[in-house]
Copies of this chain bind each other. A is one copy, B any other.
Amino acid sequence: MQSEIIFTHEPIVIPPAVLPSREIGACVEFHGIVRELEHGQPLAGLDYEAHEPMARRLLDRHFTALSAAHPCAAVLFIHRLGWVPVGEASLFIRVLAAHRGEALRFLSEAVERLKADVPIWKRAAQ
């Protein structure tokens, strides 16, 4: 599986999808957007920090494991760091696969694993 992991301090710019073969039937994309209310408190945005080398290693490991369970052709992962205002995306994930079932399961479990143990932290900014 092709895998690309990008961290950026700028607003996320989504590159056009390039299909690695004529056997791609599903492209699933997730944009994680900063919401105004967190635990009932209004925010102006969130401030994200990461331990990038460790985050990359863990994400690579997760993507490899997920790809064995849910065969996919490619994953693109982009996480914005620094201050992200309400209404803007902090996270973008694109998964390409032959079938939508695998792509959706890969995506869903990738976000679960990201939140579980990948060293990316957020701090509320009011």
Which A residues form the contact surface with B (CB < 8 A)? Answer: 17, 19, 22-37, 86-87, 89, 98, 100, 104, 107-108, 111
Q: How many copies of the chain does the oligomer comprise? A: 2
Q: Are A35 and B30 in contact (CB under 8 A)?
A: no
Interface of A is mostly: mixed
Which residues in B have their C-beta under 8 angstroms from that of A25? Answer: 32-35
Which residues in B have their C-beta under 8 angstroms from that of A29? Answer: 28-31
Q: Are A32 and B22 in contact (CB under 8 A)?
A: no
A108 to B99 alpha-carbon distance, docked (Å) = 12
Q: Which residue of chain B lies nearest to A19 when distances are taken between CB atoms in the complex?
A: B87
Q: Are B26 and A32 in contact (CB under 8 A)?
A: yes
A28 to B29 alpha-carbon distance, docked (Å) = 6
Q: Which residue of chain B lies nearest to A23 when distances are taken between CB atoms in the complex?
A: B35
A65 to B34 alpha-carbon distance, docked (Å) = 27
A36 to B27 alpha-carbon distance, docked (Å) = 15
